[in-house]
């Protein structure tokens, strides 16, 4: 299969990361920043996830133990109620840490309440202390993610939903309302492993790479192309949409280079610990210098 990565620069869209962190974990700031992003022409707002954080911080962790981070599904209902067009993305939910039927209900509820604006970003996680604290085996998180995703798709899309996997099974139940987007909202697979590439090709509408420079983005897209040659993409799934959070602030020329590599969406991560005024200025500046020129 040929992995179709479009290179039309004027179709590059922009998302805003960290809508549930730092200053945006306070309601007034979240509402103002969401409104500013929609006004500036951002395509989407994104919220990450850590249920708990290692204390003391471990080298792999990108956050300190006392950093503020709200639950992404709960947090995104707030800007959903204060905007009308901008999409809402979980970037990412750590799938093997969640009960799949409970998570499916939460995500379907958010899609309904936002009138079908949800993008479901998921991944397998990378911090073993989180899994240990939650009582979930770290070693089987990849297989658990495959099972959980299949179970969620089943409860969203089947008339009489049932799923029987190695690590999760259910039948004889219903869950309504179903998502506003049918058969379910777009699924965006996060991760930089061969297994993540496989899941993206086989089960997702898109792939999300976090904290990537241009060189690493090119390497990740090569991995996705290799997976697309090895694994069959479902009929009618369409081209895989590529989202990337750049490793640092970017200008117009750098954004063009990401687009030329085949990136469709840049999800920008503001500098950490900005206050409300600085966050709004960041959003407005991106609107003027990037969003309005692409």
User: What was the pLDDT predicted at 8?
Assistant: 46
Q: Is position 4 within any domain?
A: no
Compute the distance between CA of residue 266 and CA of residue 246 in angstroms, rounded to an integer.
7
Domain for residue 109, yes or no? yes
- Residue 22 domain flag: yes
Average pLDDT over residues 172-198: 97
Residue 3 within a domain: no
**pLDDT tier, 262 (very low <50, low <70, confident <90, very high otherwise):** very high
Q: What is the mean pLDDT of residues 33-54?
A: 98
What pLDDT band is residue 2 in, cutting at 50, 70 and 90? very low
Q: What is the pLDDT of residues 17-26, one digit of tens each?
A: 999 999 999 9
Q: Tell me the C-alpha distance between 192 and 152, whole Å.
A: 23
Q: Which pLDDT belongs to residue 10?
A: 55
Domain count, the chain: 1
Q: 207 in a domain, yes or no?
A: yes
**CB proximity list for 259: less than 8 A, separation 6 or greater:** 7, 8, 9, 11, 12, 294
Q: What is the pLDDT of residue 1?
A: 43
pLDDT tier at 11, thresholds 50, 70, 90: confident
Crossing angle for the helix pair 194-203 and 214-230, nearest 10 degrees? 60
* Domain containing residue 55: 9-293
| CATH for 46 | 3.20.20.30
**Model confidence over 59-97: pLDDT tens digits?**
999 999 999 999 999 999 999 999 999 999 999 999 999
Give a yes or no: residue 273 inside a domain.
yes
């Amino acid at each position: 299969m040929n992995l179709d990565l479009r290179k039309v620069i004027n179709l590059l869209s922009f998302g805003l990361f960290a809508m549930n962190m730092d200053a945006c974990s306070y309601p007034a700031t979240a509402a103002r920043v969401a409104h500013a992003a929609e006004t500036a022409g951002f395509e989407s707002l994104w919220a990450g996830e850590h249920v708990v954080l290692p204390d003391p911080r471990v080298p792999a962790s990108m956050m300190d133990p006392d950093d503020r981070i709200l639950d992404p599904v709960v947090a995104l209902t707030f800007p959903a109620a204060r905007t009308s067009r901008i999409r809402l993305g979980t970037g990412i939910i750590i799938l093997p840490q969640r009960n799949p039927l409970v998570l499916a209900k939460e995500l379907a509820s958010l899609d309904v309440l936002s009138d079908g604006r949800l993008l479901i970003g998921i991944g397998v996680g990378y911090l073993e202390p989180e899994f240990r604290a939650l009582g979930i085996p770290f070693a089987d998180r990849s297989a658990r993610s495959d099972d959980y995703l299949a179970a969620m798709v089943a409860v969203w899309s089947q008339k009489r939903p049932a799923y029987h996997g190695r690590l999760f099974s259910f039948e004889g139940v219903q869950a309504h309302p179903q998502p506003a987007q049918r058969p379910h909202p777009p699924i965006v697979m996060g991760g930089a492993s061969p297994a993540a590439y496989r899941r993206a090709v086989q089960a997702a509408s898109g792939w999300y790479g976090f904290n990537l420079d241009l060189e690493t983005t090119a390497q990740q897209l090569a991995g996705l192309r290799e997976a697309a040659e090895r694994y069959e993409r479902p009929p009618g799934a369409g081209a895989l949409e590529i989202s990337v959070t750049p490793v640092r602030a970017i200008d117009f020329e750098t954004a063009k280079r990401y687009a030329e590599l085949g990136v469709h969406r840049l999800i920008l991560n503001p500098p950490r610990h900005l206050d409300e005024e600085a966050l709004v200025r960041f959003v407005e500046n991106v609107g003027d210098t990037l969003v309005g020129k692409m």
